A = this chain, B = another copy of it.
């Protein structure tokens, strides 16, 4: 039996017809005698936005079932065009919709979850030595309604197909060369990471690295499907996302992320009673705001200060809810600050390396960067600092943890 390789090409890789032709040539080049190729493709560059605009000219709240019917055409178009381009270059290819390849999902329109994949028709086409092109981001319910998998859903299609087809590897082609130690657009010294673990990648993704959809990484982790993130426009190897990296013990910190998309709210002098935090965050959640990092200072006078961060776009409603709840529970002032940034260090090696947190705090202090809030997970440490220090903080952390 030949090896099966699943490749996924994102919207920027198939932004226009010229790029589709480049991608077609690349796919043909990677089709060797001893492998089968299954290619998942996103919609052409702007198609998704264009289709959304059409719907929003009709209503701001389009029926979700009809929205899925509409949006799924984007990937159907690109998969048909890619199959044509490959056939025109002399290789055999065939395109399928999510429905045709039997990607069965639940009924949660616009954010459906894949339940089963019937690979029958893909396997038949592979046996005929065809390159199989699958429209990403979509599936079908048991009632035969078309569904979509949410933003980044083509990644999920690729990972799920790789699992179902027992593929050797799932290659995610994108417009960057892989996963970097930090954002290469911001830090010149950023280096491409050769290998990263699923959990590190998940942590990086949740802290702001946007190369791959987090849900897809979770699925890849659960079923141990190696992912290769690489560039559509370069032959260079990219980054392997794997269960365990080769030299795990040598590296404490895999990467640095930062983002300034959040704002901080502090409720002063909260009465220190059981259940009071639950009361506060229930109200904020009801107001429709997400809450991310939460810090509660140890109380010494029967009162405590509670600080937390929310997405900047939710600040107004979160503030309103905070003021209302502060009044109700007889707490003090409500303060806010949207001039903050979060810098985080991520690495599975933290588990076995001691003193990582101390190093982080020390180097920030040495550079006169004040730490406002701290939050840690098993494999990451995040600090909230003043926004003006964001770039500097990333730079010195990148150097301190030998990522240069």
Contacts and interface: CB of A to CB of B under 8 A. Distances in A.
A60 to B, nearest CB: 9
Given A84-B55, A121-B144, A73 B77 contact: yes
Nearest to A144: B100
A285 to B, nearest CB: 29
B21 A58 contact: yes
A79 interface: yes
Contacts of A80: 66-67, 69-70
A56 to B, nearest CB: 10
**Main SS of the interface on chain A?**
helix
Contacts of A77: 51, 54, 70, 73
A63 interface: yes
A144 B83 CA distance: 17
A81 B95 contact: no
B57 A84 contact: no
Interface in A338-382: none
Interface string A75-108: 0110111011101100000110101100000000
A72 B80 CA distance: 11
Contacts of A67: 80, 84
A215 interface: no
Given A51-B77, A54-B77, A84 B99 contact: no
Given A100-B144, A144-B121, A81 B55 contact: yes
A170 to B, nearest CB: 24
A51 to B, nearest CB: 7
Nearest to A53: B17
Contact of A57 (B17, B72, B83, B121): B17
A173 to B, nearest CB: 19
Interface string A1-38: 00000000000000001001100000000000000000
A288 interface: no
24 contacts: A17-B57, A51-B77, A54-B77, A54-B81, A58-B81, A58-B84, A59-B84, A59-B88, A63-B83, A65-B94, A66-B80, A66-B83, A66-B87, A66-B94, A66-B95, A67-B84, A69-B76, A69-B79, A69-B83, A69-B95, A70-B76, A73-B73, A73-B76, A100-B144
Given A73-B77, A121-B144, 16 more contacts: A17-B54, A55-B81, A62-B88, A63-B84, A63-B87, A66-B80, A66-B81, A66-B83, A66-B84, A69-B80, A69-B83, A69-B95, A70-B77, A70-B84, A72-B76, A99-B99
For the complex of A and B, 4 pairs with smallest distance between CB atoms? A69-B80, A70-B80, A73-B73, A17-B57
